[in-house]
Amino acid sequence: MGLIVLLGCEKKEESFERGADVNVDASAALPPGKVRAENNFGKYFEALDTVCAPYLRYTTKMDISKIPNEWFITKLEDGNLNMTFYIGEGSAVRKYDPTTTGWWADWNNSPYVEANNPHVAITEGWTSTTITLSKKCYIFGFELSALLNQYNDDPVTFGTSYLDTDRLPDDTPIGRIHQEVYSPGGARLFAVKSEIPFNQVTIYWTGGSHTFTQAYAITNIRYVTSKKIFEQHNN
C-alpha cells in the first residue's frame, strides 16, 4: 500500500505525516492503526485514518448529540442528507450520551478521533450495519470502537464497503477498507474519498479477536456530497 491522501491529510504505511495545524495528543492510543484499502474500479479511492483540520473543515457532520439518551435510531437527517440504518429485522442502533462508566467512555484522542467521550450510536448482536444514503457521497467517514472482553491486547478487525446501488445487480463495491480496533481507548477513524460516488456503506467485522462481544459503536459521522469539493482536493 502506498501513500494514502484525503483532504490534505497524509498517512504512510509505517508513520504518520501531520500538518502543523493538527493538534496531536501524545496520550493517543498506540500503536498507530494501519488501514488496508481495496480499490475495485481503478478510479481514485483513498482512505484516511487520522482526523485533520481540512477533513473537519470541508465535511458536514451529522450531529447526534440532540437525540435523547437510549433512543433507537433508524434514520438521521439534517436537511441535506438522509441516512437510514439497517442491522437486522426488528432491530435498530441505539444512541447513548457521553459517559464515564460505559465501555465506550474511553474513546481515544487526537489525531485518531475528534474528541474523547463522545455521543455514540451502538449496535449489539449483529455482524453488520448498512447505512443507505439519500444522496451519493464522495467523502464519508465515522469513528468506530468495539466492546472487547479483554483490554487492548486482542484487537478485532473491522471492514467497510462502499457501493453505488445504481450499479445493481452488479454488487461489486467501489472499494473497501479494513482496520484493527482496540478497546478501550482505541477507537479509529474509518473515512474514504472516492472519485466514484456511493450511496450505501456497510460496516462489518471480519474476525481477529475471540473476546469480541459483537457490540460496537460509531460517532462523528461526516460526509461530502459535492463533486466540486472532491475535485478541489483531489490533488
Contact present, 161 and 173 (Cβ < 8 Å) = yes
Split into its structural domains, the chain has a count of 1
Residue 196 cell numbers, joined: 466514484
Range(s) of the domain holding residue 116: 4-232
- Which pLDDT score is estimated for 232? 77
> Dihedrals φ, ψ of 54, to 5°?
-60, -40
Total-model pTM: 0.85
Is the C-alpha dihedral spanning 130, 134, 138, 141 positive or negative? negative
Query: Is residue 223 within 8 Å of 137, Cβ to Cβ?
Result: yes
As a residue count, the chain comes to 235
pLDDT beyond 80 at 212: no
SS3 content of the chain, % helix, strand, coil (to 5): 5, 45, 45
Q: What is the pLDDT of residues 46-82, one digit of tens each?
A: 999 899 998 999 999 999 999 999 999 999 999 999 9
- H helices of the chain, in order, are 53-58, 227-232
pLDDT digits (tens, 9 = 90+) for 15-26: 222 222 333 343
What are the tens digits of pLDDT across the range 135-191?
999 999 999 998 876 655 678 889 999 999 998 888 899 999 999 888 778 899 999
Compute how many other C-beta atoms are within 10 angstroms of the C-beta atom of residue 41. 15
